[in-house]
Structure 1
Amino acid sequence: MKTAFLYAGQGSQHKGMGEDLYRDFDEFREVYDKAGVSFDLKKMCFEDPDGELNQTKYTQPCMVAFAAGVTAILDKNGIKPDYLAGLSLGEYSALHAAGVWDAETAVRLAAFRGEAMTKAAEGVDAGMTAVMGLSEEELQKCVDKAEPEGVVSICNDNCPGQIVIGGEKKAVDKAAELAKESGAKRCMPLNVSGPFHTKFMSPAGDKLREYFKDIEFSDEKIPVVFNVKGSERAADETVQELLEKQVQSGVKMTQTIEYLLDNGVRSFVEIGPGKALTGFVKRTAKAMNVDDIECTTLETSDEIKSFLAGNHLAE
């Protein structure tokens, strides 16, 4: 049975994340202690005293540090997947796990990305809404009709029946209204600080392109399924190009999971915090009539200890 590690994206962060892992695992502790960020990483993750963890510029390095710490634990125990993928920010954690960067570089890149996205969002009255129950084609028609109100586009295709739209709030609200009229079961506004994965993030893409010039990228040692493609990269594509495009383009998570299922993956390990990706996998597998999948979530110390005790993926 083939296995994929899936890394969570921004939105599942919470106060206290990683505190038990820092206490119980040397490998996790080393990642946090070496993270070269401009703020107290442990205090932000474990205590969040000023309520700043949800700010993008802090969320992103915290999430990648958490993921890198869990990856270090699994690696120490000889546990490797056949494929890697992540949701948006989680793609940086997947690339770290693939050997493209070390943990310190991955955290530093996430911090830069978070700052760049924060600046790109300044001055935009932004909105993002999850739409349930419409196909991409049906929702795109609503988005097209709402464009006179401003910029709006599909920014996350999470799983069958759940697609996120984003852009200028007025246009997003109009598209959501039209989606309800077209039969959407639910439209849920998301608490976000910017129009992520839309063309407003183009300046962030430009900054990442320049920043990447000073970063060493190694080849992937484990196949990575990329957000902007829903597949592995082609020989004439670079990781840098795909990441630059990713920040300002829609995330194809449904297609990513479909690709993994089509290539024989039946065991999915979500490296959190959170369980959102597990839900996406189950809904996608159901739509494809695949019923022999196994899903595991790794966030807490107890979950990881239980997983290690099974050790069925160890080399």
Structure 2
Amino acid sequence: MLFDDVSVSSTWLAVAFASLVFILGRYASPNVDENEPPLVKPRIPFIGHIISMFRDGSNLYVNLFKDRAEPIATLPMLNGKLYVINSPDLIHSALRNNEISFGPFILETSKAMWGLSDNAMASISVEANLKGGMQLIHSTLGGESLHKLNVNSLSRFMTYLNRIRPDETHVVDDTYIWLRDMLTDASATALFGAKNPITVDKMNLVWDFDKQAMLVAAGLPRFMTKAAINARLKMNDLLLSYYKSGGDREKGVSEIIKQRVPYLRKTNFTDDDLAHMELMITIQSIKCWNRKKYLFAAMPSLEVTLLAGSAMPLALRVTTSAPTTIGYI
């Protein structure tokens, strides 16, 4: 009888919890106007997208697009909502639209996401400072500056590929890690130049942070994002040493770093503030370059063949029949 009572109690608890979730999902979820983007409901009402964010990190958006290939969508989260734009054309339209302001979003998420100090928050809360910083991002990530950044990234990338001599076979145990590490190093070196602090032995910190980055931005308790916070703090220390030693003034530094650093210092940013704020540039640049389209554009002469019978993670046999297009660097 004792176990029967326990079973009944557990059943009623399960029913009560399910009812609560349903009620919250039905009545506490945000209302969506007919003019807003299509609603993509989570499988678990009310909290489903938050669970997916915790589990998948930034891959949440990729997985959602696979399920619902909407050019733009509305994600209900608790009693709020999040707009996700998947279409490149719509993204460019949003960025060009003067009526859309990213300032409030930046201010809302920056302190939690990047761990900004009160001093840094006070600086970017001044509209002129925030606007000036955003304008520098736009001006240095286009035209000749962007071309130079791309060439430097590819040149660094080719130093890895060119180690595979013509007609030589190179066996890769884990394809994803192999490509990820090369592209991460290439991106960081193109940004920071010769004194790049995100070296090969430290690049795992980028991906440890990325796994829980969205949870950090949402301001969830630290015990839920401990791995990401610890990774961020270690990268902050690396960047702090870089700025203190004047690494941003060395040869090969990208225009975005060259121009933003003195600008932010004029707005009262300290070296420690820079080490936190400019982690944003680091993470986004690295993630941008870790895309397959850049890989295949960079090495058209590279032949990649799956090894027969290889288990996951994939193993590859990589063979180059000729030097890569940028030549031996």
- Say yes or no: TM over 0.5: no
Considering fraction of residues, name the structure with more helix.
2
Structure with larger RCO (C-alpha < 8 A, sep 6+): 1
Pick the structure with greater CA Rg.
2
Greater strand share, 1 or 2?
1
- TM-score, with length taken from structure 1: 0.30
